[in-house]
Structures are given as structure tokens and as C-alpha cells.
Structure 1
Amino acid sequence: MTRIVHVRSLDPALYEDERTVLLSAGMIRACRLAADSTVKFRFGSASCEGLVRTAAAPAASPGEELGLHPELARRLGIRGGCRLSLVYQPSAATLYAGPLVGVLLSRLYPSQEMPFGSMTAFCRELGKAGEEAGVSLFFFSPEEMHTFPDLAGLYFDGEWRKGVFPVPHVIYNRLTSRKYENKPEVQHFLKAVQLRHQTRIFNDKYLDKNAVFSALGGEASLRDCLPESHPFSNYHMLKAMSGRHPVLFIKPASGSLGKGIFRLHVREDGSCEVRFSALSGTVALHYPDLFEAYSHMAGKIRTQAYQIQEGLDLMTIGGRPVDFRALVQRDGDGEWVLSSIVARIAAEQHFVSNLARGGTMTAVQEALAGSSLASRKGSIQRTLKSTALTVAQAIGSNVKGTFGELGVDLALDAAGRVKLLEVNSKPSREEFSLPSASDEALARPSVRRLLEYAVYLAGFM
């Protein structure tokens, strides 16, 4: 049975034994412990012997307390004043505290107010929600891995504070750069904590577009929503695809944020237009034939893996393409649930809708109401939601890795048919609105769901 407790630091002058663990009589009974018994006490990878003592009944306690001798708390890496969960396993004679969850971020900034840059508001929200749920959270980057087996990091306690922690039960991988994720020291660390400490890691890797479409191709329920897509290999493939589809999208297989995407339009006279995004906006180049267009793209295509995908005649608002980003997450039972879905409208003269490329976000119903599909908005909205859920379930079943959340990008063609564009294992938190100032004390359901899944992975249920 798991119980949430408030950690209190004991006065060492009153409790000389550095192993002292003080619990109420009710908690001792609930955990099936014996007073004055020794147990193994674990917090993440840290382990110490504890001596269980019965606390005097408090006069007016708002909840259960866990009293720890300061030396025992220091050895375990548990800070006073936090809230965490306790569960006792008689078979192992072990009292587990936690769960301890580490959030792995690309970097920490030397700023007290914004230590995680644009991710700071999300991290603060996650930290507050963790305190409420009895989950101990800290935030660290690859720069802190050199202290392994201990980990330096930051935690939120009304303000950002530095701390040192054992290896956590669970790591939520929020590395937003493949450059960081693929570093040898990062890969070595992630493998080491899994092998030595059985740490569970979720969202453990980026998804490859070609691997995703290959994995989903065998799902009969998704066949109609998959645009024709292949790993891009050579000019002959480009020629064959352009014979079937006058518009093609050529995307980096491991790209994100709309970077490096080419939009190729082959006109009836054989001439071609190639569009791509640059810092100044969308650039359009014109070529007399397909081979000339291919020659322009070939330099980049040879240096990394690309995907070639059928171009769709997308639903538009005011001439601007619209797509939909669904956030699908695993809940406290490990099951996939839809947390939110928003519409994204491309900026003027842009063919991708990413917010990083100037796109805007609006409610799905509002976007549909402003389109030619307004009369079918109810059924379309239901299909968007069910398709996003089906895609996530198929990824979870067919793609190697542990994923706690996925950003599923969907589109509607001009006939109102739902099509899958791509799936992102590191969905941008900025694409889902933060709480308003009046609700800033409340964590969004999507944030609470992350914690529920972390608790599930850690086994604190």
C-alpha cells in the first residue's frame, strides 16, 4: 500500500541513532512494519539501513509525516520538507521512498529565473504537480552526468535550488536535440542506469519518419490515412513518385520543427517549383525539368536520410494550410489516452504550420467552422481524435522504445479525409497552452498524466 508523507528532519540531539526513521503507529501498521525493527530504506539507487521508531501522536497534523535523522536523509538524498510516497515490500524487507523522477533536459542556463530557457514554465508546473502528487522531481542535463553515480540538478521549492540526487527510478527524456541525445557519454549513461539500477526511461529516443511509416503500414485500421511514403533513395524514385503525385514533400527522416523540408510541384509542362523554408521566409525556385530540380536537392539528400511523401490537397483557411497536433499520453495504468488536440494554421506564404515557422494555434472546432468542412465538424473532430489514439497505440506496439507521450500530426484533405503527416516523440510543450495566470496553481491534465505514468513505471501504485 502506497502512502504520501511529508518529510520532516529530526533533531539529532533527540535521536542519536543516525538510522532513525520515525513513523506514526498507523503508518507502521499500514505498511505492515514492526516498531523498533531494522529495514532497508531505498530512495532511487540510494540504500541505507533504517531503524523504524514510533512517533508520538501529533496534536494536529495535516497529514502523515516521515521523520528522518539528518544524516540518514543526507545519505539517501532526501530533502526535508518535501512530499513523497512510501511503500513497504515485506518480501524484500525494504521500505521504498519516492518515486524519484529525473527530467533530462538539453541544457541548464546560468539564470535563477529561467534556468531551462523556454522550458522553464513547463518545468515549474511539473515540479509543483510533483510535490502535490508525492513525486520527487529534479531536472538535470548531460553536463551533470559526470558526477554519476550521484547526479547534480535543480529542484523547485518555491524557487529553483541546487541539489545532489541518487540515480532516479524513472527518467523522462526531454532532450530536444538529437545532437545531445546521440553524444556517446549520454548514450553510455542511459544504458548504465538501465543495466545497473533498472531505471525506467520514457520517450527514450527520437522517432525516424521512415521507421514510423514502415511500422504503421501493416495496420489495416490506418491504411486509408497513410499518404504514400518511402525512404528517399534516388532520382528514379523521385520520377516514379512524381508520375503518381504532382506535389511531393521531401523531409529529413530525423528532422523536426519543419526544418529541411522541400515541397516539389511538377507542372503539366514538366517544369518544377521547389519551395523550402529559410530565415527570411519561404524560398521558391523554378527549374525547367525534374532532373534539374533533383540536382538542386541532391546535395542535402545525400548527407542524411530523407522521406519522400505524397503531397496532399489540404484543407485551408484563407489560403493557408491547416493541420492538427494531437497530444496522446499514457496514463497511470499504462494505457494510451488523448490529452489534447489543436489546429495549427500556417503563416502567410508558408507551407508548414509549425509554430516555430510562424504558424498560429487555434481550437479544432474553430478551425473547422472557418473552413469548407464546417457542416461535418462534429464527425471530423471525432475521427481526428480516434485516429490520433490509434496511431499512438500502433507506435507503442510496433516501434521499439518506451513512449509516454507522442505528438501526432494529422491533416484533412479537401474531401475531409484524415491523413497522418508524422509522429513526434518529443512534442513541443509550447504547442499546448500554459495555464492562465488565474489558474497557475493548477497543473494541466497533460502534466499530471506525465507524473501518473512515471509513478506507474516506478511501481509506486
Structure 2
Amino acid sequence: MSLPLTQVTLEARKPKNKNDSLVQISNHLFTSLGLNKNNLQLNIKLGKKAIQTVVQPVDLEPPNLMLFPENILKNFCLPTQSFKFQAIYRDDLLTLELGPVFGLVTDFPSTKQEEPHFRSIHTFCEELHHGITEIGGFFYVFSFEEFLNQGYYLLNGKWKSFEHPIPDVIYNRIHSRKLEQSVPFKQFRKKLETMMIPLFNERFLSKWEVYNQLFQEKHLLPFLPKTKIYTKENLYELTDEYETVFIKPVHGSQGRNIIKLKKEDEIHYTLNTSIASLNENSSSHYYLDEIHNLIRPILHNRFFIIQQGIELVSYDSCSMDFRVLCHKNLNNHWQVTSIVARIAAKEEFVSNIARGGKMLRPLKVLRTCLGPKNALEVLTHMKELAMETASIISNSQTGITGELGIDIGVDLDGKPWIIEVNSKPSKNFEDGLGKIRPSAKALIQFCTLLAFDSTFVKED
């Protein structure tokens, strides 16, 4: 799907009176947008708000310039400055749409005096601002408790508080599963439904839910480690079948609270874990009953899975997997926007960057592990598997999904395995070098699609 959008430059002018509704448009832009000189009264829509105006074609430079009276900018809750937007004219509605207005909802410490800090995605928010400002649109960050009252907009390198416009689309980057399940957040989501504002990546994913959705696709079964809900019976079953198993929380992230069991002989196992309270036990040998009793307090009132361990290729004797970042584009198709090899820190069995892992270019690593002949073929296979996985997961969700991080391991034969799928992938693993990264550009594209293509939103 190709949206016929035109980039416009919007500048403020002093109003002649407080009710000034005259918007001046360059002759070139007037023609490019397909506006009609016989009907100069039209609605201008920005975000979810529309204002009745009178448009006037005039000689202006640059050729895509629009001049707005300051009072209309104020009605749209925009700062008084120049902007770039994407625009499309809906002749049947006599409406000129400007956008996208892109809101990011997250949780961060409340501050009355100081500039806010958006925790692990702070730098990424700056990147999104610069990316959308460059191509046309408006980006801001807000907490769901302050929706429609206060947001933060980057101005001269500082996040400034202001009453924000009603967004076309909202990107969910809440950091906490617990917060997403809270009554206030559910009320916020209901409000968005009432206002018909799409929220994408609306929740964290459950490992068990993801496994079951992929398990339904028979062609993916060879790429899925055998996985069951943790019980004592399943512990015995999987350890009897495999040399190594992993025990993971169904709702977990960043490599936390994972246990690795390895068979040392017919009856003894070693335990390796990222759980601090169990670390002193990691060098001992245990019977399975002892292990179950040892970890049972950790499992109290929480669901864990137990999963087949795969012997994966390593790098410099360190555990390794690959993070493949997938996004939907303007055509509503999944694409791979980034892939990195994640190398675990020494003495760690999880490769998460949050636990000291490092990143390397995937092709370089695969050439070292599998040889140059197989490396490109394996990389291509991983990308295809990631896009197929993203498509299946997004089609299985009730809401809108536009971004997924897919963790893939590669075994000694070069076969990829789907380890995990994340709806809130880390933004710290790509090497941006100060540029707008492909992942940020893809998110902006997807928001543009959601903002301007109303049929897409209705279909979802």
C-alpha cells in the first residue's frame, strides 16, 4: 500500500484577531494537494482534532509552505514554531489531514521541576523525535496518568512540559507488566478505544502463550525447543530426555530468574542460575528431588516453563544467540530491520546485554563458527524464520503489533531455533553511531500508516 503523502512546512504568523482562521498555502502546494479553488473552506485535521479554516493560495517560498495563525496552533496544542508534517487531502470530507502525531506512553519518575528521564528508552525517545522531525510529524512522550493533560516535547535538546495534541497513534513502552495489568492503565486503554486511537504493542507477551501460538504451526515445530509448564513431573520427563534444560518465568525479561540444569551423570545435576539467592548452590551436584525442593520457593505463586536445552554455537567459549528485530512497514508487511549476535559475559549462560553481554556483527560471528560458505545461508534462514514468527505472533494477538524482537539460537549443525519473542525489545543493542537507526525509521513508517490509513485500523 502506498500512501500519497506530501511533505509540508508549517510556520506561524501573527493573527489579525483572536478568531483568525485564515491559512495561507503556497500556490505550488495548493496544486500538489489537489485543493479546489472553488471551495476554500475546509477542515484541517491534526491528530484527532479538526478545525474549520479558510485557505488562501498565495505566492510563498519555499514551495511547500503553509502559514497558520498562532491561535490555530494553540488550538491544536502545538508550540509556536515551524514544523514539517505529512499531508493528504480528503476531497470527499473537505478535510486536509496533517500528521502523524505520534505519542509514546511510558512510565518514568514524576518530576515537577527537573527535566524528566524516560529510563532505558530515554535516548531512543530523542532518536524518534529527530527521525520524525526530519521526515514530517510530531512526537512526544507522556505517562498514561497525565494523558491529555501533560506531555513532553524535545525543544533545543531539553524535554519541555506542555499540553499535548490528541495523537493519531500511541506506541506502548510501559516498562512493567504489573503496571500494564493495573486498573488505571486498563482505564487508559478503554479511553483510547472510546477515542478510536490505536495503541500498538499494547502488552508484554507470555513465553507460554508465544510457544503455544507457534506450536500450532506444524512447519515451525522443528525450530521450537520442547517446552512445558514447570511441574515436578515435567522436570523428570524433560531431564530424562535432554542433557540440559532451562527453567524460565513465563513473564520474565532481560535474562532474570532463569535456571539452567545440566546432567553430570545418571543421577546428578548441576544448577546454574541468574537468581542471586541460588548462586551459592551453583557449584554443587544435586539429585532431581533436591533441585525441585531448592527452587520450589522461587516458583511460589508464579508460572514457570521448563524448556529443552539446545547445544548452540558459542563464540570465544561464551554462550551466544541472535536478536532479530522485526517491524511492519508502510505496506503493513514484516521486515527485518536489525540483527546482532549477543555474546554472553564470561561465567554467564544468558546473553542479555542487561547482564553484561556484548554485541557483534552476525555475519562475522557466523563465519567464525560455521565457516564462510554456510554463514550467509544461515543468516538468510534466520531472517526468514524471524519474519514468519513475527507474522504468526501478530496475527494471533487481539491488538495491533508493529514491532517484535525475536531471539534465535543456532546449533552446531547451523540449524536455527526460536528461543523467545519480545514485544518490548531493548533499544540499547543496535549500533546507531548517532544516526537514526532502521528500527526507529520503521516505527515512524508504521505510525504513519496507522495515522493516515483509517481502513487499516478498522480491519485490525
TM-score by length of 1: 0.90
Alignment correspondent of 2:375: 377
Partner Cα separation in structure 2 for residue 244 and residue 361 of structure 1:
33
Deviation of 1:297 (Å): 1.4
Q: What runs of 5+ residues in structure 1 fail to find an aligned partner?
A: none
User: Quick check: 1:453 aligned with 2:446?
Assistant: yes
Aligned residues: 446
Q: Is 389-398 or 402-411 further displaced after alignment? A: 389-398
Alignment correspondent of 2:78: 78
User: Quick check: 1:277 aligned with 2:274?
Assistant: yes
Alignment correspondent of 1:206: 204
Q: Choose which of 5, 8, 15 in structure 1 pairs with 2:8.
A: 5
Alignment correspondent of 1:184: 183
Q: What runs of 5+ residues in structure 2 fail to find an aligned partner?
A: 455-460
Instruction: Give a deviation string over 1:45-85, Cα, whole Å, max 9, x none.
Output: 2232222223x312xx2341222222221112233311112
Instruction: Give a deviation string over 1:109-161, Cα, whole Å, max 9, x none.
Output: 7597773244232211211110111111111123423xxxx241112233223
Deviation of 1:301 (Å): 1.8
Deviation of 1:226 (Å): 0.5
Partner Cα separation in structure 1 for residue 380 and residue 110 of structure 2:
42
- Does structure 2 conserve the Cα–Cα contact (< 8 Å) formed by 1:101 and 1:168? yes
Alignment correspondent of 1:171: 170
Alignment correspondent of 1:322: 320
Q: Report the identity percentage.
A: 26
Alignment correspondent of 1:51: 54
Cα separation, partners in 2 of 1:452 and 1:164, compared to 1, 3 Å: same
Cα separation, partners in 2 of 1:389 and 1:109, compared to 1, 3 Å: same
Question: CA RMSD, aligned part only?
Answer: 2.3
Q: How does 1:306-455 map to 2 (within 5 A)?
A: 306-371=304-369, 375-435=373-433, 440=434, 442-455=435-448
Indicate the SS of the match to 1:212. helix
Partner Cα separation in structure 2 for residue 16 and residue 286 of structure 1:
78
Residue type matched to 2:66 in 1?
L
Residue type matched to 2:437 in 1?
R
Partner Cα separation in structure 2 for residue 167 and residue 320 of structure 1:
48
Alignment correspondent of 2:251: 254
- Does structure 2 conserve the Cα–Cα contact (< 8 Å) formed by 1:153 and 1:164? yes
Partner Cα separation in structure 2 for residue 105 and residue 360 of structure 1:
26
- Does structure 1 conserve the Cα–Cα contact (< 8 Å) formed by 2:9 and 2:84? yes
Partner Cα separation in structure 2 for residue 2 and residue 319 of structure 1:
51
Alignment correspondent of 1:68: 68
Alignment correspondent of 1:120: 122
- Does structure 2 conserve the Cα–Cα contact (< 8 Å) formed by 1:36 and 1:51? no
Cα separation, partners in 2 of 1:63 and 1:27, compared to 1, 3 Å: closer
- Does structure 1 conserve the Cα–Cα contact (< 8 Å) formed by 2:21 and 2:53? yes
Indicate the SS of the match to 1:31. coil
Query: After the TM superposition, which parts of structure 1 deviate over 6 Å for at least 4 consecutive aligned residues?
Result: 111-114
Deviation of 1:260 (Å): 0.7
Q: Is 69-78 or 367-376 further displaced after alignment? A: 367-376
Instruction: Give a deviation string over 1:362-400, Cα, whole Å, max 9, x none.
Output: 011221233255552222222122211221122122233
Cα separation, partners in 2 of 1:312 and 1:183, compared to 1, 3 Å: same
Deviation of 1:313 (Å): 1.1
Cα separation, partners in 2 of 1:108 and 1:456, compared to 1, 3 Å: farther
- Does structure 2 conserve the Cα–Cα contact (< 8 Å) formed by 1:35 and 1:52? no
User: Quick check: 1:40 aligned with 2:43?
Assistant: yes
Deviation of 1:412 (Å): 1.1
Indicate the SS of the match to 2:428. helix
Partner Cα separation in structure 2 for residue 281 and residue 427 of structure 1:
27
Partner Cα separation in structure 2 for residue 450 and residue 272 of structure 1:
45
- Does structure 2 conserve the Cα–Cα contact (< 8 Å) formed by 1:154 and 1:163? yes
Cα separation, partners in 2 of 1:373 and 1:314, compared to 1, 3 Å: farther
Q: Choose which of 239, 258, 261 in structure 2 pairs with 1:264.
A: 261
- Does structure 2 conserve the Cα–Cα contact (< 8 Å) formed by 1:36 and 1:53? no
Alignment correspondent of 2:458: none
Alignment correspondent of 1:87: 88
Residue type matched to 1:21 in 2?
V
User: Quick check: 1:103 aligned with 2:104?
Assistant: yes
Indicate the SS of the match to 2:425. coil
